[in-house]
Amino acid sequence: MQTKWISKKDFQKLVSKWVKKHAVYAPVHNGKELAFQAVEKPEQIVLDGYLNTRYPAKSLFLPQSEVLMSYDGILHSVENAEKEKIILGVRSCDVRAMRLLDHALIDDQNPDEYWKRKRESAIILTLGCNEPEETCFCTAVGGSPFSTNESDGLLIDMGDAYCIYLLTEKGKVLFKDLPDTDEAQLKSVKKMTKQVEKDMPALLPKLELHDALMASFETDFWKDVSQSCLGCGVCTFLCPSCFCFDIVDETVRKERVRNWDTCMFRTYSLEASGHNPRPTKAERTRQRVMHKFAYWVDLIDEIGCTGCGRCVKYCPVNIDIREIAAAALQQDFEGMKK
């Protein structure tokens, strides 16, 4: 794998060049929070001293609210021209989530064109995580803080410089005139990343957890773990691998719009007859956890949680998906009251 070296000062100059030619999106403080936004000046970009934006990078591809069609007696698809854009500073967990969403939205006979066009027009540059937070657990679910999968390049912060792993042709073009990393530099990168990974949580036993959850399905376990849940849905709205949406008609604007939706709401699965397959928060919590840790495993043999920790960090009542997984592995569901 080809690696390059660039001082932070030169990197800023390089970004200034990109900004002139491309749309560049990166983490920016917007007054309230850190968010991926279009950048005008490289000084706005925040790559140090933070980990994740509040909203995952998926919001750039599956926005919270998106106009699908306009209505003038019949519905017409809205086709926004997608300009090529560079998305800089996406953490590995958010990058991995995007590949999961590719599977959910475009890997079949009815691809979601809105998602697909935005994906195809984006160059993604991952930023490695030198100091993961307490809520980070990517390594427990099959990821890495320095993943070289799924993006066009990986930036690793080496103090006054970045080491850049070039992962695709698109990535190579962006960094083409830079010097290659020398052996000593590469050695220091590997030493640092290895140490960080070593201190992260251990990999969960994927299949054992899958089987435990399947056995838990009709037990009171879910009543217990969901007891304090308020049903606010923040865990799903901020989740990088959640993709559920609702389609609604805005009659004044004459538009058909899709909005993020959540399995944590009662009306999500409520049928017109009054029947609801998930009538209480126990079934809804079960759906959220089992989608990530059981159903994704059935589908692609991978856990569908990327360990970003947002649901843990932002839950108002401190429900912790790591604790639910650990508890499920401890339980004897066969002996439990159904």
Partner 1 sequence: MKNCYEPFPMHIDRVVIETTDATLKSFELTFDRKEDREEFFSKYNPGQFCQLSIFGKGEAPIGIASAAWEGDFVRFTVQKMGKFTTAIHAMHAGDPIGMRGPLGNGFPLDEWKGMNLLVIGGGCAFSTLYAMTKHILHPSHRADYAEITALYGTRNSGLCLYKPVIEEWHNRSDIEVHQAIDIAEDDWKYHVGFVPAVLEEMAPKPKNTVAVLCGPPVMTRFTLPILTKLGFPPERIFTSLEKRMKCGVGHCGRCNIGHKYVCKDGPVFTLKELQELPNEI
Binding site for partner 1 (CB under 8 A): 68-69, 71, 73-77, 79, 104-105, 108, 110-113, 117, 214, 217-218, 243-249, 251, 254, 256, 258, 261, 263, 268-273, 275, 277-278, 283, 287, 290-291, 294-296, 298-299
**Is residue 173 within a helix (H) or strand (E), and if so which, with residue range?**
helix 169-174
d(CA 156, CA 142): 20
d(CA 228, CA 290): 18
Residue whose C-alpha is closest to residue 93's, from 136, 62, 131: 136
- 238 — phi, psi (to 5°)? -95, 0
CB-based burial label for 91 (10 Å; 0-12, 13-18, 19+):
buried
CB of 276 to partner 1, least distance (A): 9
Please say whether the beta carbons of 203 and 142 come within 8 A: yes
Q: Where are any strands of DSSP class E within 240-311? A: 245-250, 255-260
d(CA 42, CA 65): 28
CB of 190 to partner 1, least distance (A): 38
**Which C-beta is closer to partner 1: that of 96 or that of 288?**
288
**Which C-beta is closer to partner 1: that of 73 or that of 159?**
73
CB of 105 to partner 1, least distance (A): 5
CB of 74 to partner 1, least distance (A): 4
CB of 75 to partner 1, least distance (A): 6
CB of 281 to partner 1, least distance (A): 15
- 246 — phi, psi (to 5°)? -115, 155
